[in-house]
């Protein structure tokens, strides 16, 4: 884990808005516009969501967001800084999400996520973090890999 990164849970509307703006700009610049900025803000601030973001020198460098329930699910994992990606920030964010879910939902048994089958690096990261492939789905003419991890 990079000692320079600090991790925060989004608790305020302003934090959700700031994270939504930064993540949307990043996704748009990489031609990944599957979420609008408003969609992201809602995802990050909804009552059943858990969003953790990482900062280095007051700059958002990564974020993980998902649903907390008896069946928690990671909906979005984004590392915005290439240097932090090389230092393992994506894996750290997954670990922090799972740790936080364990505390908030002690009855949860599994964390899941769904990823496009074209995102080989992301799938590999989740596999390295103890997730297993539990299925495949076709959605809007693309393949989706379903991954799960016992907690």
Q: Which tens digits make up the pLDDT trace of 60-70?
A: 999 999 999 88
Domain residue ranges of the chain, discontinuous segments joined by +: 6-107
Q: What is the mean pLDDT of the chain?
A: 93
pTM (2 decimals)?
0.91
* CA 13 to chain CA mean position, Å: 18
Q: How confident is the model over 107-115, as a mean pLDDT?
A: 96
- pLDDT confidence bin for 3, thresholds 50/70/90: low
Q: What digits encode the pLDDT tens for the residues 125-144?
A: 999 999 999 999 998 888 99
- In terms of DSSP H, where are the helices of 3-144? 13-29, 37-45, 82-86, 89-104, 120-128
1 pLDDT higher than 50: no
The answer to whether 122 and 78 are in contact (CB under 8 A) is: no
Q: How far apart are CA 149 and CA 132, in angstroms?
A: 6
Which of 118, 112, 114 lies closest to 136 in space, CA to CA? 114
30 vs 112, higher pLDDT: 112
pLDDT tens digits, 37-96:
999 999 999 989 999 999 999 999 999 999 998 899 999 999 999 999 999 999 999 999
Specify the CATH class of 6-107 in words. Answer: alpha beta
Asked whether 89 and 129 are in contact (CB, 8 A), the reply is no
């Amino acid at each position: 884990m990079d000692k320079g990164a600090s991790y925060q849970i989004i608790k305020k509307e302003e934090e959700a808005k700031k994270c939504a703006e930064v993540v949307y700009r990043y996704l748009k610049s990489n031609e990944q516009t599957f979420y609008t900025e408003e969609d992201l803000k809602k995802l990050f601030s909804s009552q059943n969501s858990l969003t953790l973001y990482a900062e280095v020198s007051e700059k958002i460098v990564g974020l993980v967001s998902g649903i907390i329930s008896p069946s928690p699910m990671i909906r979005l994992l984004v590392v915005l800084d290439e240097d932090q990606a090389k230092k393992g920030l994506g894996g750290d964010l997954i670990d922090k999400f799972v740790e936080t879910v364990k505390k908030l939902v002690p009855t949860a048994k599994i964390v899941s996520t769904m990823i496009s089958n074209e995102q080989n690096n992301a799938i590999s990261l989740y596999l390295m973090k103890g997730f297993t492939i539990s299925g495949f789905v076709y959605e809007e003419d693309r393949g989706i890999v379903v991954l799960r991890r016992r907690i």
